[in-house]
Amino acid sequence: MTAADRRTLFRTFTEEIAAIQATLDRWDAFQVEETLDIHTPPSWRQDMRKRLEGLRAARNRMRNEDFGVCRECGEDISPRRLLAMPETTLCVACKSEQEHALAIP
What number of H helices and E strands is found in the chain? Answer: 4, 0
Question: Distance of alpha carbon 84 from its chain centroid, rounded?
Answer: 7
The H or E element that residue 70 is part of is none
Angle, to 10 degrees, between the axis of helix 42-61 and the axis of helix 3-30?
Answer: 150
* Single pTM value for the model: 0.77
Helix/strand/coil for 66: coil
**pLDDT(30) > 80:** no
Task: Domain count for the chain, please give it.
Answer: 1
Q: What is the CATH number of the domain that holds 41?
A: 1.20.120.910
Q: What was the pLDDT predicted at 42?
A: 64
Q: Domain containing 78: what range?
A: 3-102
Chain segment 35-76, per-residue pLDDT in tens: 555 555 668 788 899 999 999 999 999 999 889 999 999 999
Q: How confident is the model at residue 27 (pLDDT cuts 50, 70, 90)?
A: confident
Using pLDDT thresholds of 50, 70 and 90, give the confidence band for residue 32: low
